Amino acid sequence: MMRRYFLLVAMLVVISAGLKGQQATRGDVNIIQDSRVEELLEKHRQINEAFNGLSGYRIQIFFDSGSNAKNRANNERRRFMALFPSISAYILFDAPNFKVRVGNFRSRLEAEKFLNDILKHFEMAYVVPSRIELPKL
C-alpha cells in the first residue's frame, strides 16, 4: 500500500515539473501577406457602407428568362402592386433571368406569414433570403 502511495506522489512530482517548463513567453509575430488582401478588405468595407440594408427575406413571385421576360416581370409587379399597394415590389435582373421579389421582412416567420396571404394570387411564390431596405421611420 505504501509503495502505491509513493509511486503516485512520484508521478505527480514528475508531471508538475514538466508543466512548469511550459511557461508562455512574450514574442513578436510577423504577418506576411499579399498586399491585395488589404485591397479586397477595403473594397468589401466600401460595398457594405454603400448599401444601407440588412439581411432579411423577400418573397419571389416571378422568375423568367427569354423573349419578353422583362415585360412579363413588369406586368407581374403591377399586378402585385394593385393587390397589395402597401408592400414594396422589386424587379431584379440576374442575367439572363428577370425576377420579381416583394416585401422587406426581417424574419423568415414574418415572410412565411405573408406568403400564405399571397399564394392564392401567386401560386409559384416562395421565400428567399435577401438584402432588405431599412424600415422607414
Domain range annotation of the chain: 50-132
Q: Which residue has the cell 440594408?
A: 53
Q: Find residue 64's DSSP bridge partners.
A: 98
Which strands, in side-by-side order, build the sheet including 126-132?
A: 89-94, 97-105, 54-65, 126-132
| Average pLDDT of span 53-62 | 91
Superfamily for the 50-132 domain: Sporulation related repeat (3.30.70.1070)
96 upstream amide cis, omega within 30 of 0:
yes
pLDDT tens-digit map of 35-54 = 898 899 998 888 777 766 78
Please classify residue 64 by burial: count the beta carbons closer than 10 Å to its beta carbon, then call 0-12 exposed, 13-18 middle and 19+ buried. middle
pLDDT of residue 133: 82
Q: Which of 33, 135, 137, 124 is nearest to 80 (CA)?
A: 124
